[in-house]
Structure 1
Amino acid sequence: MSALEFDAVSVRYGKLTAVDGVSLTVPPGQVVGLVGESGSGKSTLARAAAGLAPVSAGRVLLGGVDVRRLPRRRPLQMVFQDPYSSLDPRMAVGESIAEAMPPGTSRAERRAEVARLLELVNLDPDRAAELPGRLSGGQRQRVALARALAGRPEVLIADEITSALDVSVQGAVLNLVREVQRRLSLSMLFISHNLAVVRYVSDVVAVMYLGRIVEAGPAAQVLTDPQHPYTRELLAAAPSARRNLLDDPGDDPLADTEPADPHHPPSGCRYHPRCPIGPLVHPDRTACVTADPAGDAAGRPHSAACHYAASHPTRRSA
């Protein structure tokens, strides 16, 4: 087992800094859930680890080795969001899986390994001869997982792997991911915008906003006692038995506030233009506008990047 470490990683595209100085560790054999709304930089961070996005500053380490120095068949594999575009439609399922295997095995060994992997992801080995077009979205995502496992990874990155699936299928895929991770003792970075999904599979939760980690810690602690107001807002927005996403927000001044332009992030705390405990509600809290809270975040619970992390907002009606 290996740890995946992001050491002050930044990813820039021209004037846009999609990931800004992120430090995060995926411990050996554990699942780190990375959560945040669209555009926060989650997928870009994952692609940097997989060598699919340029690392402008910092390092991504796998077992203490910079991933840029690893061989092409590195012990890190990624499962992507869209099961319909992750497989070659002209290639049989078994061929796609076998293509990802390390070289040096015979044809018979590859066939046996393909069958084993299909069984591991709860698919009939006879599916190996079929084209992806004959499979459902959930079945294709299982094949994509089998293909990733064919590379014999020590670390697996799952990027929004259930978001394109029907709700009825999502639970089965999540159960499968959790079972496979535990059986193989994989280290996993699990990316989602859905806190309920992250809660189900993760040992550690990290929350990302505008390219930065704003809170991270053990999943049970972060999700029951969140320290950053953005984490609390994500939890408040999650559907529950008493509340759903179609509920009227009433007079909430933050309900329709859009994220800041990532090309021109706010000064100080990047969340302050939307924050329910910041200067929008408390004009005297000027530190939120002038000082970056990330500098001393390590000294706060969950490394929360918030000057007023201990201050909880007024509860909203449920």
Structure 2
Amino acid sequence: MSELRFEDVTVRYGTGRRAMKAVDGVSLTVPTGQVVGLVGESGSGKSTLARAAVGLAPIAAGRVLLDGRDVRHRPARGSGRAVQMVFQDPYACLDPRMSVGDSVAEAIPRTGTAARRAEVTRLFGLVGLDAAHISSRPSELSGGQCQRVALARALAARPQIVVADEITSALDVSVQGTVLNLVRDLQQQTRLGMLFISHNLAVVRYVSDIIAVMYLGRIVECGPAHEVLTDPQHPYTRELLAAAPHRDGYAANSAHEESGAVLDTEPPDPHHLPAGCRFHPRCPVGPLALPARTDCLSLDPAVGAVGRRHATACHFAAPLPTPSHQAT
């Protein structure tokens, strides 16, 4: 069992005036045996953070640590990789010229041929695929079946952490629920840590123990899933929650529902981020709706976030509750 930790991670693309921080000083922990759901709209930096965890995006500053060891230190040849990623498009990550069984076998750490075949069969059973599919090509399987193969391939490397990046968004709605159930069951069986990424809060809340909300390269709120869903502190989190189906009873806290509909505006240009709070040009309870809230225009709410509930990057989030001292 292992813990994945992002420490002030920054990923920068471009140089000079066109440089852009896709991820800006992100700190986030995926605890042992838990699922952290990372949610945010397209362009928020979620996938870039995921790619940084597996070495596919250059880290300009900060570190990604697995049990205190930098994940960029390559493992010994044939020993598997401790952090594995499952991508959005299952067809794009499987070689169309190989059988899906061979693709899974390729990821298994070095072992004998008979043991490798037995492991492939076991993994196919683990993800709910019939052994008859082992000799199939990706083009002969449905999207849901290919995503199961991709999960089997990730597990074949015997990882300690799995990063799942939008793994249901390319699937039909009728298949998404089946894959989500599989993910939840696999995580409970294996007790692997998982970073589960989606733009859909309704999907993230179904599988997550912890929810982190990302906006324009930064984590703006993070806490236990139930607490974030029932008492969201950041206006952006509340808007995401209000847009999600409420079939399980979770909804934005009515105490926070103030006037304003600024969110309909386009996100800022990531090359020219606004001063102060990055969300203030769209915030329904920010200075455009409530002019007295001038702090949002110039002061960075990330400063002091640790003193607010869910470490929220909002000047007006509730403070951490004061610990009660029992009389002795």
Instruction: Say which SS state the counterpart of residue 303 (structure 2) adopts.
Output: helix
Instruction: Say which SS state the counterpart of residue 266 (structure 1) adopts.
Output: coil
In structure 1, distance between residues paired with 2:185 and 2:310: 28
Which residue matches 2:33? Answer: 29
Q: Is the 8 A contact 1:229 1:309 kept in 2?
A: no
Aligned pairs for 1:46-85 within 5 A? 46-71=50-75, 73-85=80-92
Q: Is the 8 A contact 2:308 2:318 kept in 1?
A: no
Which residue matches 2:256? Answer: none
Q: Deviations over 1:105-124 (max 9, x none)?
A: 11111110000000000001
Instruction: Say which SS state the counterpart of residue 20 (structure 1) adopts.
Output: strand
Which residue matches 1:284? Answer: 292
State the 1:69 CA deviation.
Answer: 1.6
Which residue matches 1:258? Answer: 266
State the 1:240 CA deviation.
Answer: 4.2
In structure 1, distance between residues paired with 2:297 and 2:303: 14
Q: Which AA in structure 2 matches 1:83? A: P
In structure 2, distance between residues paired with 1:179 and 1:2: 19
Are 1:296 and 2:304 an aligned pair?
Answer: yes
State the 1:253 CA deviation.
Answer: 3.6
Structure 2 counterpart of 1:224, from 221, 224, 230: 230
In structure 2, distance between residues paired with 1:131 and 1:226: 45
In structure 1, distance between residues paired with 2:280 and 2:57: 29
Which residue matches 2:102? Answer: 95
Identity, % of aligned positions: 70
In structure 1, distance between residues paired with 2:74 and 2:34: 22
Please, which runs of 5 or more residues in structure 1 have no aligned partner?
Answer: 244-250, 312-318
The normalised TM-score by structure 1 is 0.92
In structure 2, distance between residues paired with 1:253 and 1:285: 16
State the 1:99 CA deviation.
Answer: 0.6
Aligned pairs for 1:12-23 within 5 A? 12-14=12-14, 15-23=19-27
In structure 1, distance between residues paired with 2:94 and 2:11: 27
In structure 2, distance between residues paired with 1:165 and 1:214: 28
Which residue matches 2:7? Answer: 7
Aligned length: 302
State the 1:252 CA deviation.
Answer: 5.8
Aligned pairs for 1:231-246 within 5 A? 231-240=237-246
State the 1:71 CA deviation.
Answer: 1.6
Please, which runs of 5 or more residues in structure 2 have no aligned partner?
Answer: 252-258, 320-328
Which residue matches 2:315? Answer: 307
Instruction: Say which SS state the counterpart of residue 232 (structure 1) adopts.
Output: helix
Which residue matches 1:146? Answer: 152
Aligned structure 1 segments of 4 or more residues deviating by more than 6 angstroms: none
Instruction: Say which SS state the counterpart of residue 302 (structure 2) adopts.
Output: helix
The normalised TM-score by structure 2 is 0.90
Q: Is the 8 A contact 2:260 2:285 kept in 1?
A: no
Which residue matches 1:113? Answer: 119
Which residue matches 2:188? Answer: 182
Q: Deviations over 1:58-86 (max 9, x none)?
A: 00001110111232742110000011211
In structure 1, distance between residues paired with 2:112 and 2:31: 34
Which residue matches 2:323? Answer: none
Q: Is the 8 A contact 2:260 2:284 kept in 1?
A: no
State the 1:255 CA deviation.
Answer: 4.6
